[in-house]
Chain A
Amino acid sequence: AQSVSQHNHHVILSEAASLELGCNYSYGGTVNLFWYVQYPGQHLQLLLKYFSGDPLVKGIKGFEAEFIKSKFSFNLRKPSVQWSDTAEYFCAVNVWGYQKVTFGTGTKLQVIP
């Protein structure tokens, strides 16, 4: 069964700092990868996704993620965070051809003005 590990449970950054959130998954086959974000009081929403092709994917609000197959990783990055990026971020994986989506435990990001 696939699993997802998010290494940082709580990250605190100052505005304009760079962000990188780690995500590793365990499954040897073809996967679809996602980052979801949950802003305070809002629904989970998709930040970006990787299905195939260019391993560097760009999402909304200046976020990007890089799929490194050899490392089973899909880290999320943003060059300069803003206070409005304060949220909880979830990495998720889906094995190609199956419906189940497995989520990590989430990383709470707090951006200090």
Chain B
Amino acid sequence: DAGVTQSPTHLIKTRGQQVTLRCSPKSGHDTVSWYQQALGQGPQFIFQYYEEEERQRGNFPDRFSGHQFPNYSSELNVNALLLGDSALYLCASSQQGFSEQFFGPGTRLTVL
């Protein structure tokens, strides 16, 4: 049984560019949450998707957007990248109705 998978593993972009990160949830899970983890910090909640809709959003600007597909996989898009967007982006999946979240390995984004 595959756990949560994320792609790519690492990514380097320059300021002003746009990036798309991908996540496939654990089998049987229908809810995907995205987190940003800056160096030396705990993960910060970006948003959560269920039934292809954003359910709740953390304190992140509109440059951060997402999507969930009918197969429950999800994308995180970040537009107009800033140096401060450099971080590890984590995807976590769970079953509908809050329960234990399973985390993926993350995508390390570096913005130059």
Contact = CB atoms under 8 A, between A and B. Distances in A.
Nearest to B3: A43
B103 A44 contact: yes
Contacts of B90: 44
A34 to B, nearest CB: 8
B63 interface: no
Given A44-B90, A46-B100, A101 B33 contact: yes
Interface residues of B, number: 25
A103 B43 CA distance: 6
A87 B50 CA distance: 31
Contacts of B65: none
A110 B45 CA distance: 27
A81 to B, nearest CB: 21
Contacts of A8: none
A36 B103 CA distance: 10
Contacts of B4: 43
B104 A100 contact: no
B49 to A, nearest CB: 10
A102 B41 CA distance: 12
A94 B104 CA distance: 19
